[in-house]
Every structure is written in structure tokens, then in C-alpha cells.
Amino acid sequence: MSVNEFSSLSNFCVVICNLQQSIPEMDSAELIKTHLNQ
């Protein structure tokens, strides 16, 4: 795994964590599916 891949993955995880805090009723799996479908 390259540094860029790891960096973007870390950023994605931070975004998910922030979304879960602001929208706690949403499931993380649903957030990931929504993100990947964009």
C-alpha cells in the first residue's frame, strides 16, 4: 500500500467518524455504501 493510499484511507475514516458524530442515527456501513456509490 502506498503512502497516498494510506493517507486517503485515513482521511476517509476521519470523515466517516465525523459524520457518525454529527448523524449518530446513521449506520457506518450505510455511510460507506453511500460514499462508494457516488
**All residues at 6 or more sequence positions from 35 whose CB lies less than 8 Å from its CB, including other chains:** 12, 16
Global model pTM greater than 0.75? no
Q: What is residue 15's predicted lDDT score, i.e. its pLDDT?
A: 86
Confidence (pLDDT) at 19: 77
More confident residue, 8 or 27: 8
Q: How far apart are CA 9 and CA 30, in angstroms?
A: 17
Contacts of 26 (CB under 8 A, 6+ apart): 19, 20
Question: What is the phi/psi pair of residue 26, to 5°?
Answer: -80, 140
- For residues 34 and 38, what is the distance between their CA atoms, to the nearest angstrom? 7
Q: Which residue is listed with cell 446513521?
A: 26
Q: pLDDT, tens digit, for every residue of 4-26? A: 888 888 888 888 888 777 666 66
pLDDT higher than 80, residue 31:
no
